[in-house]
Chains A and B, each alone.
Chain A
Amino acid sequence: MQERGHTEGGSEPVVEFRDVSLSFGDTSVLRGLDFRLTEAETLALVGRSGSGKSTVLRLVNRLLEPDGGQVRVSGRPTTEWDPIELRRRTGYVLQGIGLFPHLTVRENAGLVPGLEDWDGERARRRVDELLEVVGLPPAEYADRYPRELSGGQQQRVGVARALAADPPLLLCDEPFGALDPITRRELQGEFRELSRRLEKSLLFVTHDVNEALLMGDRIGLLEEGDLAFLGAPEAFRESEHPLVRAFLGDGAGIRGGS
């Protein structure tokens, strides 16, 4: 297991897309996408459904491979990574949560340490610690099954699971999309605090522009398989780009862009 690039002064981007293109059959999903995610940064990608947001994440942990260009993680193209190793050091918080319904909260959260053959006591301590961190005291929640939890609690388990093996990089695919607005706000705030405190690098995908503005150190606006905008939240708010304006709800027609 290698450590992340602290030693080189953090100059190596954690994730880098170089002119990445991808098609599914005749449908071109990504066209020459370029961006970098630096260490401990949160990049929030917004876009409408079908703009290729989730595809970007799936390229990072090599659930997909690019047709053209390169996706590099810690300086190495994903195609040169062992996919299993790559995925185990890349936390993933999914849209549908994707908890294992037949496993308890503890077993769900401890999944990756289990796969990595941590010894039982260490894994157990780690999971207890994390459940505490995400606001689910293990004494009360560790032995429950996912269906015995509310949606918000389930997503907390999802977050704990993604963090369990202490991956330097987290991928988040609309993690709070299925939650009611109040729970969503709560989790967004907590999650941002948490990821900053733990100095994780985050690639965060959402269609909710407010969520992107809240979570992101930088915002990328994905449209038709390429970034129409990439920059700080302030710059995003002030951008004159018609699509950005449309996303911010200025009343301009959504169809105006690209």
Chain B
Amino acid sequence: MEFLRYLAGNQDLLLERTLEHVYLVGTAVGLAVLVGVPVGIVLTRRERYRGPVIGVVNVIQTIPSLALFGFLIPLPVLGGIGASTAITALFGYSLLPVIRNTYEGIRGVDPAVVEAGRAMGMTDRQLLRRVELPLALGVILGGIRLATVIGIGIATIAAAIGAGGLGEFIFQGLSMVNNTVILAGAVPAALLALAADWGLSRLESRFSRWREGSRGAGAPGGGPGGGG
């Protein structure tokens, strides 16, 4: 009750910090998609870069977030106190799921379908645009969803370096030893993550429905009208 009353009394602040939070995660994941999807595509074409690239983004993933924020603060442009450090860090964490899912998604396309495209005389670019990317889209969206959900959680810590967002409530509550204020940050952050998860998974399943049926194409009795 007290929690709801607190929220009601701080509506404007809540809205502002929620928007900041969305901005931090949205920008970071958006940039990670712009960079990660092309990188993932290149890795399917140049296998020898896969080990090193996945290795590097894997390592980024293992750095504890608070430490990563700390490392970034002294850097020019990318770092400093405020949103840019948080976005840089969140971007780094988002790369792994985006790159890996792009790679796996394209790799997972039925080889018979890829072979057919090539045999029809598709150029590599046409194969990618018309066959591989559409069929991999569900998996790629899965990576974006994962990056977003993880990002929303990590972004709460960004308040420690003055980046704003819902984490402000949490750190404020921690210093005041006031659970109500902590919850005012934690609950909306969790709800935000759930909402993003739900929305993106709907999008994902919409673009994954080709997956069933792409295999076992020879199974008889599939459709009405019989064998013709």
Known: A85-B121, A102-B134, A150-B222. A178 touches B116 (CB 8 A): no
Set of chain B residues within 8 Å of A83, measured between Cβ atoms: 121
Judge whether A115 and B222 touch: CB under 8 Å: no
Judge whether B221 and A150 touch: CB under 8 Å: yes
A114 to B222, CA, bound (A): 28
Known: A84-B121, A94-B115, A147-B212. A99 touches B131 (CB 8 A): no
Give me 14 other A-B pairs in contact (C-beta within 8 A), A102-B210, A112-B121, A151-B222 excluded. Answer: A61-B119, A63-B119, A84-B121, A87-B119, A97-B217, A97-B218, A140-B225, A151-B217, A153-B222, A153-B225, A153-B228, A179-B220, A180-B227, A183-B227
Judge whether A115 and B217 touch: CB under 8 Å: no
Number of A-B contacts (CB under 8 A): 118
Picked from B112, B213, B222, B226, the residue with its CB within 8 Å of the CB of A94 is: B112
Contact code string B191-228 (vs A, CB < 8 Å = 1, else 0): 00000000000000000001111100111111101111
Judge whether A178 and B120 touch: CB under 8 Å: no
Contact code string A97-129 (vs B, CB < 8 Å = 1, else 0): 111111000000001100100000000000000
| Closest CB pairs A-B (n = 3) | A178-B218, A147-B213, A98-B116
Known: A84-B121, A147-B212, A150-B222. A99 touches B228 (CB 8 A): no
Known: A135-B228, A150-B220. A98 touches B112 (CB 8 A): yes
Contact code string A149-181 (vs B, CB < 8 Å = 1, else 0): 111111010000100000000010000011110
A179 to B227, CA, bound (A): 10
Is there a chain A Cβ closer than 8 Å to B11's Cβ? no
Judge whether A151 and B219 touch: CB under 8 Å: yes
Judge whether A100 and B116 touch: CB under 8 Å: yes
B205 to chain A, nearest CB (A): 14
B interface residues (Cβ-Cβ under 8 A, vs A): 110, 112-113, 115-123, 126, 130-131, 134-135, 210-214, 217-223, 225-228
Contact code string A61-90 (vs B, CB < 8 Å = 1, else 0): 101000000000000000000011111101
- Can you identify 26 A-B contacts, CB atoms within 8 angstroms? A84-B122, A92-B119, A92-B120, A94-B119, A96-B110, A96-B112, A98-B110, A98-B115, A98-B119, A99-B217, A100-B116, A101-B213, A102-B210, A111-B120, A115-B121, A147-B212, A148-B222, A150-B221, A150-B222, A150-B225, A150-B226, A153-B227, A153-B228, A177-B218, A182-B227, A186-B227
Minimum CB distance partner of A150 in chain B: B222
